[in-house]
C-alpha cells in the first residue's frame, strides 16, 4: 500500500504558468472548481500529480499532471476535452497542489511500490483490484512484454478481444471515445513493448488488432477531439516500424503488415479522407520491395473499382487511389502508360504536368479546355511554371465567353495589371462589376480608369446603370465614398421606400456623415431607426434605440430647437410608459 510521507507535497510552478498552460477561460473555471473543493484523492509521486475531480454534470474524472523545473511537462484528464491536459479539471488539480499542498498526499512511485512487493502481496493486490474492477480480469489472459525477449508467439485473438472490450462498454455519446481511446492506447503500448524487445511478430499482432478494431467502430463516434484518430495513427506507425524491422525472407508477416497498412488507408479513403491513413502510403512506399509494391497496387486497383453511385464521391476515390497507384508503379510506367493511368483515374494535374514536361503543349491545352472552371484556375500556375503564359491566357479568354465564374474574370484582370495593360485590365474589371456590382469593384474600376483619363465618363455610365437597376444601396455607398452627402441622402430615401427593413446599417452610416452638413436629414434617420426598434418591442436593442435618441437630442440642440425635442421626448415617454425596460435605458442615458 502506498504510504504517506511527512510534510506537504509541494510543487514549484507559479499560477502564471498554470494560467498560460490552461488558457484564461478554462483557468477561471478551474479556479472555481478549486475553491469549491472539486478535487479529491490528490497525491504526488516525484513530479507527477494525480487526483480525481468532480465535474459539473459528469465524472468524477481522472486527472494528472507532470511538473518539472517550474514548467508543466504534460497533463491529462479523462473528461471529453481533457486530452492534452488544458481543461478546467487540470487547472483545479494544479491550483490545489500549489495553494493547498497539505491536501496532496506524497506517495511512492507506482513501479517502485510494485517492485518492493512480494509475490504473495502482488497476488493479493491483483485480487483486490479485480474485486473493485472486474473488467480487469480479461488482462490475466493477455501476454505482456517484460523487457526480455521470450520468442513465444502470442495469440492475436487475445488482443482482438481486448480491443472489442474497449468498445463494448462505450456509452456512445459525445466524448465517449475518450474512455475507449485510453484503453486502446494501453493496448498499443503493449505492442510498443514487444517491438522494443525485438518480438516483431507479436508487436504486429497487437497493432493489427487495434487498427482493425478502430476502423470497424470509428463511424460510431464523432471523435471531434481526434482521440481515436491518434490511437490508429500510433498503430499505423507501429505497423510501419514492424515492416521496416521484418526481413524480406519473412514474406507472410510482411504481407500481413502491408495488408494491415493498406486496410487503414482503404478505410480512410472510403470514409472521406479524415487523416487516419495519411501515413500508410508513405510507409508502404518506403519499406516495400518492388514485388510487394505490385501486390499493393493490385489491392489499390480493386478498391478503385468500387462505385457509390455518387459522382463526386466516385471521382474522389478514383483520384486518390490513382495518385497512390502512380507512386506505386512510377518505376514501371512509360510515358504513355502514365498518361493513360492519369486519364483513367481523373488525375488531371498529373496528366497536364507530364504533357507539359513532354512539350505536348496543345494536348495539355485540350485537356484543360474540357476541365471545370475550378480545375482551369487551379492549373493556371502550372502553365506559367512551364513558360506557357500566352497559352493559359488564351484558355482563360475562351472560358470567359461561356462562364459566370468571377474568378476567371479576376484572373484576366490581374493578368492585365501584371503586364501593364491597364486598358485590358479595365475591360475585365468592368465585366466583373456588371456581373456582381459592389463598392470593391467600383474602387477597382476607379483605380484603373483614372490614369487612363476615362474615369468621369465611366463614372457616369456606372451610376446610370445602377439607377436603372434601382440598386440604391450601392449608389448610396458610392455617394458616401465620393463625399456627396446630399446625393447619398436622396438615394437612401429611395432605398428606404423600396426596402424599409433592410440596409439599416447603411442608413445610419449616411446619418453619421450627414450630421455636419445636413443635420435635419440625419436627425430624421436616427428617429426612424429608434422608433423602429421601439415599435418592435425589441428589448435587447432598447439601449441602441436610446443611443440614436441621444444623437437626435444633440442635433436638436445644435439646431437651437430644444423646444421641439422636449415636446417629442414627453410624447415618447407617454407612449412608452408601459415599457419599463425602455424607460430604464432612457434614465441611464439621462433622457
Residue 473 lies in a domain: no
Q: What is the pLDDT of residues 203-237, one digit of tens each?
A: 999 999 999 999 999 988 888 778 899 999 999 99
Residue 175 lies in a domain: yes
Residue 580 lies in a domain: yes
Question: Is residue 154 located within the same domain as residue 283?
Answer: yes
Residue finishing a domain among 357, 377, 400: 400
Task: Give me the numbers of helices (H) and strands (E) for the chain, helices first please.
Answer: 29, 5
Q: What is the pLDDT of residues 511-543, one digit of tens each?
A: 888 888 998 888 988 888 888 888 888 778 888
Question: Is residue 159 located within the same domain as residue 262?
Answer: yes
Question: Is residue 168 located within the same domain as residue 282?
Answer: yes
Residue 172 lies in a domain: yes
CA dist., res. 365 & res. 356, Å (int): 9
User: Could you tell me the residue range of the domain that residue 96 belongs to?
Assistant: 15-113
Tell me the C-alpha to C-alpha distance, in Å, between residue 28 and each of 11, 24, 90, 381, 411.
Answer: 20, 6, 12, 49, 49
Name residues whose C-beta falls within 8 Å of residue 7's C-beta, 6 or more positions apart in sequence. Answer: 106
Residue finishing a domain among 288, 312, 335: 288
The answer to whether residue 7 scores a pLDDT higher than 60 is no
Lowest mean pLDDT, pick from 142-146, 250-254, 282-286, 356-360: 142-146
Residue 119 lies in a domain: no
Peptide bond into 445 cis (omega under 30): no
Residue 284 lies in a domain: yes
Residue 1 lies in a domain: no
**Structure confidence at residue 4 as a pLDDT band (50, 70, 90):** very low
Residue finishing a domain among 244, 273, 288: 288
Question: Is residue 109 located within the same domain as residue 155?
Answer: no
Question: Is residue 169 located within the same domain as residue 98?
Answer: no
**Residue bearing cell 434617420:** 525
Tell me the C-alpha to C-alpha distance, in Å, between residue 265 and each of 216, 258, 276.
Answer: 13, 11, 7
pTM for this model (two decimals):
0.70
Question: Is residue 267 located within the same domain as residue 380?
Answer: no
Task: Give the model's pLDDT for residue 506.
Answer: 85
Task: Give the model's pLDDT for residue 580.
Answer: 84
Lowest mean pLDDT, pick from 58-67, 237-246, 254-263: 58-67
The answer to whether residue 30 scores a pLDDT higher than 60 is yes
Question: Is residue 167 located within the same domain as residue 283?
Answer: yes
Pull the grid cell for residue 580: 419599463
Q: How many domains does the chain have?
A: 4
Question: Is residue 105 located within the same domain as residue 158?
Answer: no
Question: Is residue 273 located within the same domain as residue 210?
Answer: yes
**Structure confidence at residue 6 as a pLDDT band (50, 70, 90):** very low
Question: Is residue 83 located within the same domain as residue 159?
Answer: no
Question: Is residue 265 located within the same domain as residue 189?
Answer: yes
Residue 300 lies in a domain: no
Question: Is residue 156 located within the same domain as residue 260?
Answer: yes
The answer to whether residue 80 scores a pLDDT higher than 90 is no
Amino acid at each position: 500500500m502506498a504510504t504517506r510521507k511527512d510534510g506537504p507535497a509541494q510543487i514549484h510552478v507559479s499560477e502564471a504558468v498554470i494560467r498560460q498552460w490552461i488558457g484564461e477561460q478554462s483557468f477561471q473555471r478551474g479556479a472555481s472548481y478549486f475553491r469549491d473543493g472539486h478535487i479529491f484523492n490528490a497525491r504526488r509521486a516525484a513530479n507527477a500529480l494525480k487526483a480525481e475531480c468532480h465535474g459539473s454534470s459528469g465524472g468524477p474524472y481522472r486527472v494528472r499532471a507532470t511538473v518539472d523545473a517550474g514548467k508543466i511537462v504534460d497533463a491529462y484528464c479523462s473528461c471529453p476535452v481533457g486530452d492534452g491536459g488544458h481543461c478546467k479539471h487540470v487547472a483545479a488539480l494544479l491550483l490545489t497542489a500549489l495553494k493547498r499542498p497539505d491536501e496532496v498526499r506524497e506517495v511512492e512511485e507506482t513501479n517502485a511500490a510494485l517492485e518492493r512487493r512480494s509475490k504473495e502481496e502482488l497476488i493479493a493486490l491483483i485480487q483486490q483490484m479485480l474485486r473493485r474492477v472486474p473488467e480487469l480480469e480479461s488482462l490475466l489472459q493477455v501476454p505482456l512484454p517484460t523487457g526480455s525477449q521470450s520468442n513465444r508467439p502470442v495469440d492475436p485473438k487475445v488482443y482482438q478481444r481486448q480491443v472489442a472490450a474497449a468498445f463494448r462498454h462505450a456509452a456512445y455519446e459525445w466524448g465517449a471515445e475518450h474512455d475507449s481511446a485510453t484503453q486502446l492506447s494501453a493496448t498499443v503500448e503493449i505492442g510498443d513493448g514487444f517491438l522494443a524487445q525485438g518480438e516483431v511478430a507479436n508487436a504486429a499482432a497487437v497493432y493489427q488488432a487495434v487498427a482493425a478494431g478502430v476502423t470497424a467502430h470509428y463511424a460510431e463516434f464523432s471523435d471531434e477531439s481526434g482521440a481515436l484518430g491518434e490511437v490508429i495513427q500510433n498503430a499505423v506507425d507501429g505497423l510501419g516500424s514492424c515492416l521496416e524491422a521484418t526481413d524480406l525472407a519473412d514474406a507472410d508477416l510482411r504481407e500481413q503488415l502491408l495488408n494491415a497498412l493498406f486496410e487503414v488507408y482503404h478505410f480512410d479513403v472510403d470514409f472521406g479522407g479524415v487523416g487516419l491513413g495519411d501515413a500508410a502510403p508513405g510507409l508502404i512506399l518506403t519499406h516495400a520491395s518492388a514485388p510487394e509494391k505490385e501486390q499493393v497496387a493490385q489491392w489499390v486497383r480493386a478498391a478503385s473499382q468500387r462505385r457509390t453511385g455518387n459522382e463526386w464521391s466516385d471521382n474522389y476515390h478514383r483520384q486518390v487511389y490513382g495518385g497512390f497507384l502512380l507512386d506505386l508503379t512510377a518505376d514501371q510506367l512509360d510515358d504513355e502508360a502514365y498518361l493513360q493511368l492519369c486519364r483513367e483515374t481523373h488525375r488531371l494535374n498529373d496528366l497536364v504536368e507530364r504533357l507539359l514536361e513532354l512539350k505536348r503543349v496543345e494536348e495539355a491545352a485540350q485537356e484543360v479546355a474540357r476541365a471545370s472552371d475550378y480545375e482551369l484556375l487551379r492549373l493556371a500556375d502550372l502553365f506559367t511554371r512551364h513558360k506557357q503564359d500566352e497559352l493559359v491566357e488564351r484558355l482563360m479568354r475562351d472560358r470567359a465567353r461561356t462562364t459566370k465564374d468571377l474568378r476567371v474574370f479576376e484572373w484576366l484582370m490581374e493578368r492585365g495589371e501584371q503586364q501593364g495593360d491597364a486598358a485590358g485590365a479595365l475591360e475585365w474589371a468592368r465585366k466583373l462589376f456588371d456581373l456582381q456590382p459592389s463598392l470593391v469593384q467600383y474602387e477597382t474600376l476607379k483605380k484603373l480608369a483614372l490614369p487612363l483619363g476615362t474615369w468621369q465618363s465611366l463614372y457616369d455610365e456606372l451610376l446610370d446603370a445602377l439607377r436603372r437597376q434601382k440598386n440604391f444601396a450601392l449608389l448610396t455607398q458610392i455617394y458616401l465614398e465620393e463625399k456627396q452627402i446630399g446625393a447619398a441622402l436622396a438615394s437612401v430615401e429611395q432605398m428606404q421606400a423600396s426596402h424599409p427593413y433592410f440596409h439599416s446599417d447603411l442608413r445610419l452610416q449616411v446619418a453619421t456623415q450627414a450630421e455636419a452638413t445636413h443635420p435635419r436629414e440625419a436627425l430624421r434617420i436616427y428617429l426612424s431607426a429608434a422608433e423602429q426598434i421601439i415599435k418592435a418591442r425589441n428589448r435587447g436593442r432598447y439601449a441602441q434605440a436610446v443611443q440614436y435618441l441621444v444623437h437626435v437630442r444633440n442635433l436638436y440642440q445644435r439646431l437651437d430647437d430644444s423646444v421641439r425635442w422636449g415636446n417629442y421626448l414627453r410624447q415618447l415617454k407617454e407612449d412608452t410608459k408601459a415599457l419599463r425596460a425602455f424607460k430604464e435605458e432612457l434614465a441611464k442615458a439621462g433622457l
